[in-house]
Structure 1
Amino acid sequence: MGYFKGKQFKQDIILVAVGYYFRFPLSYRDVSGILKERGVSVHPTTIMRWVHISSIKSGKRKTNLHSYLGI
């Protein structure tokens, strides 16, 4: 994928971080903490950028799902 070219982190780490955010009711800070426990230090703002870009590209929006579920 062209999106991952030139990124500081590997494709796997970006996909895992975005996957955690979309699958579970976690904040960016929570996802950052989970990755830190696994030896990868990522700032929550970086995760926010990854989620924002991936949601635009895929058409997914967590807020729509959460408002529907009442979360």
Structure 2
Amino acid sequence: MTNNTAKAISDLMVSMGAQLNESIRLVQSTEDDVEFRRYRDSVSKIMTTMLLEIMNPIYSEHPDLKPPELR
């Protein structure tokens, strides 16, 4: 993968991760604990897949792109 493509995907994944985190905060503040835990667990699966299947391979090939918060 070219560095430009890897950077664009990394930026998108970081942005999507932030949006998913925000969605968890929204559900936590508006729904009961059972619904919150169910939602959080579902989003956790998405974020784990993003990290393991997309982001880590990119950062293995392009370590300079790895954001400081993931180091």
Q: Same fold (TM over 0.5)?
A: no
TM-score by structure 1 length?
Answer: 0.31
Q: Which has the higher contact order (CA 8 A, sep 6+)?
A: 2
- Structure number, greater radius of gyration: 2
